[in-house]
């Protein structure tokens, strides 16, 4: 297969057969999903989020029972339990640790590496990607603003030109708006070590998300996945991309309420930011676990407009590989015809 030669860099880093990763989605990326991904030859991340250490520990141990293949743990640097989670992944000698949500300290990167894990850091902008490489991360995840959940300000198409085309010192993985094998083929040819998808894997049999949550994804169009605005620079919230519903309206009201409390010296900026994150954590649980698709948070990337079927994980991976290989063969025929 032509595709295999483009898999080599991702395979070496991840230790899996197919360098397709499932992003860590809070309330979604559990041990069952991660285990199914590993057994299908791909790579999954457990979502650390705000999970208590004992809960995350049980998820890691459970995933190890479900698959003998490697998997990763995604930690949010802004989470209140972040430091305890870092110690946990070191103690359990996890394969790969991803830092997201903020900039980790150099000593935190070193600590994880000294415990035997490889580190991936998320980079939503070019300057941050270069800074993280200097800090010693083993790989970069370029995540474009097309992605779901908490997002950065730059589209993947621009990040590819700024970083993927310019950096060869570490493996560069890419995420944001990816759902088709043909797109994966082109990203690999551009130099990506692998891809990450989230929205596509929500629409899998093994994903535990509520059936109404998946129905909302099936009905949605790409334009329905919108990013939340920031109302005031004094409350620097990270934009969240989700399907627009009443929950989106409620978040706007929350920002106004928090700004009033800041103006009245009833809370500071840090407390307000925690209130924002607590809102999203609770709203996402309402949607994913309880199926409240009206007021809950329907975090989804713009690729939601490309997914309309629920499939087994193995079927999704097979389809991605088959379609990518077909695209490479199509291009190979074009190149050969041009040389005649």
pLDDT confidence of 286, banded at 50, 70, 90? very high
Of 25-34, 55-64, 125-134, 267-276, where does mean pLDDT reach its minimum?
Answer: 267-276
Whole-angstrom distance, CA of residue 76 vs CA of residue 81? 9
Tell me how far apart the alpha carbons of residues 297 and 287 are, in angstroms, rounded to a whole number.
Answer: 6
Distances (CA, A) of 6 to 20, 117, 160, 307, 321: 12, 24, 17, 25, 12
Decide if 33 contacts 207 (C-beta within 8 A).
yes
Mean pLDDT of 272-287: 87
Q: What are the sequence ranges of the domains in the chain?
A: 2-209+307-333, 211-302
Long-range contacts of 2-5 (CB under 8 A, 24+ apart): 2/325, 2/328, 2/329, 2/332, 3/185, 3/188, 3/321, 3/324, 3/325, 3/328
In this structure, whether the domain defined by 2-209+307-333 belongs to CATH 3.20.20.70 is answered with yes
Report residue 42 CA to chain centroid gap.
14
Q: What pLDDT, on a 0 to 100 scale, did the predictor assign at position 25?
A: 94
Structure confidence at residue 340 as a pLDDT band (50, 70, 90): low
Q: What is the pLDDT of residues 168-206, one digit of tens each?
A: 999 999 999 999 999 999 999 999 999 999 999 999 999
In whole angstroms, what is the distance from residue 147 CA to residue 129 CA?
17
- Secondary structure of 170-233 as H, E, C letters: CCEEEECCCCCHHHHHHHHHHCCCEEEECHHHHCECCCCCCHHHHHHHHHCCHHHEEECCCCCC
pLDDT higher than threshold 60 for residue 339 = no
pTM, to two decimals: 0.93
């Amino acid at each position: 297969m032509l595709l295999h030669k483009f898999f080599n860099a991702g395979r070496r880093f991840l230790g899996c057969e197919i360098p397709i990763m499932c992003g860590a989605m809070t309330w979604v990326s559990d041990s069952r999903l991660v285990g199914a991904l590993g057994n299908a030859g791909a790579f999954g991340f457990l979502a650390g989020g705000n999970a208590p250490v004992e809960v995350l520990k049980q998820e890691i141990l459970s995933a190890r029972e479900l698959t003998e293949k490697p998997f990763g743990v995604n930690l949010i640097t802004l989470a209140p339990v972040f430091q305890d989670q870092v110690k946990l992944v070191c103690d359990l000698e996890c394969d790969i640790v991803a830092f997201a949500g903020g900039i980790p300290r150099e000593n935190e990167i070193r600590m994880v590496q000294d415990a035997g894990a490889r580190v991936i850091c998320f980079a939503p902008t070019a300057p941050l990607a270069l800074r993280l490489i200097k800090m010693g991360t083993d790989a970069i995840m370029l995540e474009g603003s097309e992605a779901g959940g908490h997002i950065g300000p730059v589209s993947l198409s621009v990040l590819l030109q700024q970083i993927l085309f310019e950096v060869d010192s570490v493996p560069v993985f890419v995420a944001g708006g990816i759902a088709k094998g043909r797109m994966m083929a082109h990203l690999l040819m551009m130099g990506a070590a692998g891809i990450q998808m989230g929205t596509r894997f929500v629409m899998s049999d093994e994903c535990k998300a509520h059936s109404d949550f998946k129905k909302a994804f099936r009905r949605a169009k790409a334009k329905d996945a919108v990013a939340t605005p920031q109302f005031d620079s004094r409350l620097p919230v990270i934009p969240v991309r989700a399907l627009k519903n009443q929950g989106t309206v409620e978040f706007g009201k929350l920002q106004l309420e928090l700004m009033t409390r800041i103006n009245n010296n009833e809370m500071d900026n840090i407390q307000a930011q925690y209130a924002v994150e607590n809102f999203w954590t609770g709203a996402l649980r309402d949607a994913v676990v309880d199926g409240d698709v009206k007021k809950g948070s329907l975090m989804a990337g713009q690729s939601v407009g490309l997914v309309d079927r629920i499939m087994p994980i193995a079927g999704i991976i097979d389809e991605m590989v088959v379609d990518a290989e077909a695209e490479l063969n199509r291009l190979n025929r074009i190149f050969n015809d041009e040389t005649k």
